[in-house]
Chains A and B, each alone.
Chain A
Amino acid sequence: MIHAARSELSGLLTRAGVGRGLPIGIADELTAAALAYCSLGEDGAGAALAALAPEPKAPIYSDGVLQGSSLPMFAPSAFDLAASGTITLDTDADTELLAGYALVRGNGWSIQKSGSQLHLSRSDVNVLTATTSPPFAVSFTVWDALKELGLGALVPATPETEAGAGAGEIDND
């Protein structure tokens, strides 16, 4: 296992999200949710990796139902919309990370499962409390997979792209 500080894991997760094709603001929220999930004592990094598996397609919203297969893409909108009423989620995605999104948003949230659908709404009951502090344990497999995804956010180092650094190569004074 790798024991990572919050900020180090944050950078890894955001790069992975962007590398996977998420818009930066969506990747930010995935990162925040994953870290919150870690603070619940859960495997937030693993859950984030699982959430990044489906193609990051925008959700479809119609008649109070939000449909999508990419949790990072639909979760922020689901919570945005549920702030003023119940939203039904129609998804085949693994939704365990919704608890992380809920913790980040604060207040109480109710997530009710009904068949293949989830009903998300505000609640007066707040059952989520952070219990775990960094460093957060991340398996080497998850760490490496996130790192690999993150390569999609980086520019490969070539003599051309490294010229953008500006500093001299050898520096003896």
Chain B
Amino acid sequence: MRLDRLGASFPTPLSFMRRLVRALIAERSELTYPVWDIDAEGHGRAVLSISLGGHVYSLIAYSNPIPDDARTDRVIAEVWDTTFTLFDGLPKAADLDRLASEVPRQEAGRMQPTELILSRANKSMRLFKHVVSELAEGRQPDAAQIGKIGYLMRTTAVYGNGKFGIADREKFKDRPVLNGPFAAEMLTVWLIRQFTLALVEHVARAKGGDAAAKLEPRLKRHLGIGNSTGLGMAPFLVNHPGLLHAWVQARETALAQVLSAPQDTDRLQALLTRAKAHVAEWNVDDAVQMPRIETLRTELETLDPATMWEDARDKSAECQEMVVALLLEAHPTVCLALSETMGDNRIPHFDPSVSCADMQARLRRTHGWALDINLEAPGADDLFWYVSEDKLEPRLGERHVIPGAERESPLDIARQVQNFARALNEANGQDPLAVLLMAAPEHRRIARRIQAFGDLDYAEVRDNLIDASTRPIDLLRAKLSVFGAAKFDPKSDRWTRVTLFQGAPLAEDIAGGTATDDWAFPVLG
């Protein structure tokens, strides 16, 4: 499982957004707006509530004016157009007052375990203003602009699992729907999308009065939520080997089942047509990604729905991964059960009583890939990962250029494996591992990792993540595609914009019973 392969991933029906929307559809969940205290400029507070899996969850939104020059997607920002929390239940007025002084401050605020997620978003000023002015005049906005940008707001962080006082994931890990990985985060983003759509229509109505139009459902559905993702997300896959394995295992299992099942070529043809149109609308400025997209466009034209798996063998990684996504889309029922297996509840086992010889054998069997990497090659350790004092954000720097390498974060798995293998070589093979670890405790974590996760086929990104050639954006895309993100728009090799929930059913589709799970590869047309 190599980094460049992960960096060509596309969303599938296994993706977390798809799983969430399926749950909303199954329950025909109704969205309500118990509080809508927003002024004509779009500032104020609102509460959007929804019932899901037997629980009520509320998005609490605070919308504030901010200066244009303070609007940054960087995590170091201190103000945002809108800030949000996902509240467990229906908040009372006292909750809203308490949170009004905490949520807009984000990392600087202090939440309580009634809050499950903390997030914020900035407007796409260009599109937001355009949509408001057109709707206010009673016209629909320019579809081309909606197609080009794809969102009215983009989130710059979606924090879960105990950050800044919010609840641990433990609180809801056994609840229906929210038991899935990142389900609470996905619900929050879907609700943010609903908020942005309600907000833009509200401001247009305040401006245009009775003459104002409402957004056409077709345009509305194509508006997702933008997201800027930087290095903050990159270490996650390395730090959660059990979860990474579960995600890839589900995908590989689904693919194996799909390839052994009869293919519905009509369905594949329809999906392929839609995918081509989707990719035709995917344009980015990035000098690496855009040529890949162009190659993908060309390669998609050569695929035959009846033989696309074979056809893709000599194609680019992007094309091969797109074919995987198409095949899985054509067999959604295969993915239904597997999408429930993507969590990781295992309790890692560690046995320091094994002999050093046995540990060495195990290392060679499960992590031989790391021993095969030449760490003496030029550039092999040029990079180092670190955490900045500034908001505790992960960073990637050049080891021999900037200071701080002595505080390196342990994402150099291949190097750790090699160092541990050397220590085992030098140890008495009959000694228990405990004796070695007492003298050399720096190997304790990698020893535990190898024992706990070594037998999982997909737990490791099998690359040297400190090599000069590492593209962190590959890690970002791998994770974001499992979320269900599309339209990857790299801004460098370290951060990307994506669109979440583009084409997804709206609240009214879900409540009205007209929503379906068939919204992959959204096309505005």
Is B105 in the interface zone, CB < 8 Å from A? no
Q: Does B438 lie within 8 Å of A61, measured CB to CB?
A: yes
Closest to A80 in B: B434
**CB-CB contacts below 8 Å: A147-170 with B:** 151-157, 160-170
Q: How many angstroms between the C-alpha atoms of A154 and B395 in the bound complex?
A: 11
Interface stretch (choices A19-27, A46-54, A95-103, A110-118):
A19-27
Name the A residues within 8 Å of B491 (CB-CB): 166-168
Which of A6, A8, A58, A156 is close to B438, meaning CB atoms less than 8 Å apart?
A58
CB-CB under 8 A for A154 and B74, given A5-B113, A5-B161: no
User: Which residue, A6, A7, A26, A173, has most C-beta atoms of chain B within 10 A?
Assistant: A173
Is B368 in the interface zone, CB < 8 Å from A? no
Number of A-B residue pairs having CB atoms within 8 Å of each other in the complex: 179
Which of A4, A7, A15, A80 is close to B437, meaning CB atoms less than 8 Å apart?
A80
Interface stretch (choices B55-63, B243-251, B400-408):
B400-408
Q: Does B389 lie within 8 Å of A151, measured CB to CB?
A: yes
Name the A residues within 8 Å of B112 (CB-CB): 3
- The size of the chain B interface, using a CB distance under 8 A, is 65
CB-CB under 8 A for A156 and B149, given A3-B165, A5-B113, A173-B126: no
Q: How many angstroms between the C-alpha atoms of A8 and B111 in the bound complex?
A: 12
**CB-CB contacts below 8 Å: B426-477 with A:** 432, 434, 437-439, 441-448, 472
Q: Does B162 lie within 8 Å of A6, measured CB to CB?
A: yes
The 8 A CB mask of B371-406 against A (1 = contact, 0 = none) is 000000000000000111110110111000011100
Name the A residues within 8 Å of B113 (CB-CB): 3, 5, 134-135
Interface stretch (choices B167-175, B320-328, B335-343, B359-367):
B167-175
Interface stretch (choices B13-21, B22-30, B492-500):
B492-500
Q: Does B390 lie within 8 Å of A160, measured CB to CB?
A: no
Q: How many angstroms between the C-alpha atoms of A84 and B355 in the bound complex?
A: 13
Is B9 in the interface zone, CB < 8 Å from A? no
Q: Does B165 lie within 8 Å of A4, measured CB to CB?
A: yes
Q: Does B407 lie within 8 Å of A153, measured CB to CB?
A: yes
Name the B residues within 8 Å of A59 (CB-CB): 438
Q: How many angstroms between the C-alpha atoms of A5 and B162 in the bound complex?
A: 5
Which of A23, A135, A162 is close to B388, meaning CB atoms less than 8 Å apart?
A162
Q: How many angstroms between the C-alpha atoms of A154 and B407 in the bound complex?
A: 6
The 8 A CB mask of A15-58 against B (1 = contact, 0 = none) is 10000000111101100000000000000000000000000001
Which of B73, B231, B353, B442 is close to A168, meaning CB atoms less than 8 Å apart?
B73
Name the A residues within 8 Å of B404 (CB-CB): 155-156, 161
Closest to A150 in B: B392
Interface size class of A (residues with CB under 8 A): 35 or more
Q: How many angstroms between the C-alpha atoms of A59 and B435 in the bound complex?
A: 11
Say how far B471's CB is from chain A's closest CB, in angstroms. 11
Name the A residues within 8 Å of B149 (CB-CB): 173
Name the A residues within 8 Å of B162 (CB-CB): 4-8, 134
Is B267 in the interface zone, CB < 8 Å from A? no
Which of A81, A84, A163, A168 is close to B74, meaning CB atoms less than 8 Å apart?
A168
Say how far A73's CB is from chain B's closest CB, in angstroms. 7
CB-CB under 8 A for A166 and B388, given A25-B443, A25-B447: no
Q: Does B71 lie within 8 Å of A23, measured CB to CB?
A: no
Q: How many angstroms between the C-alpha atoms of A23 and B442 in the bound complex?
A: 5
Closest to A60 in B: B438
Q: Does B390 lie within 8 Å of A157, measured CB to CB?
A: yes
Q: Does B165 lie within 8 Å of A135, measured CB to CB?
A: yes
Which of B393, B397, B437, B447 is close to A77, meaning CB atoms less than 8 Å apart?
B437
- B interface, CB within 8 angstroms of A: 68-69, 71-75, 110, 112-113, 122, 124-127, 149, 161-170, 228, 230-231, 352-353, 386-390, 392-393, 395-397, 402-404, 407, 410, 432, 434, 437-439, 441-448, 472, 491-495
Q: What are 20 residue pairs bridging A and B, where the CB atoms are less than 8 Å apart in the complex?
A: A2-B110, A5-B168, A8-B163, A24-B410, A25-B443, A25-B444, A25-B446, A76-B444, A77-B437, A80-B434, A80-B438, A153-B387, A155-B388, A156-B388, A157-B390, A162-B395, A166-B495, A170-B72, A171-B122, A173-B124
- A interface, CB within 8 angstroms of B: 2-8, 11, 15, 23-26, 28-29, 58-59, 61, 73, 76-77, 80-81, 83-84, 134-135, 151-157, 160-173
Beyond contacts A168-B491, A173-B149: 17 other A-B pairs, Cβ-Cβ < 8 A, are: A5-B165, A8-B162, A24-B442, A25-B443, A25-B448, A28-B444, A59-B438, A61-B438, A80-B432, A81-B438, A84-B432, A160-B403, A164-B397, A166-B230, A166-B396, A168-B74, A173-B125
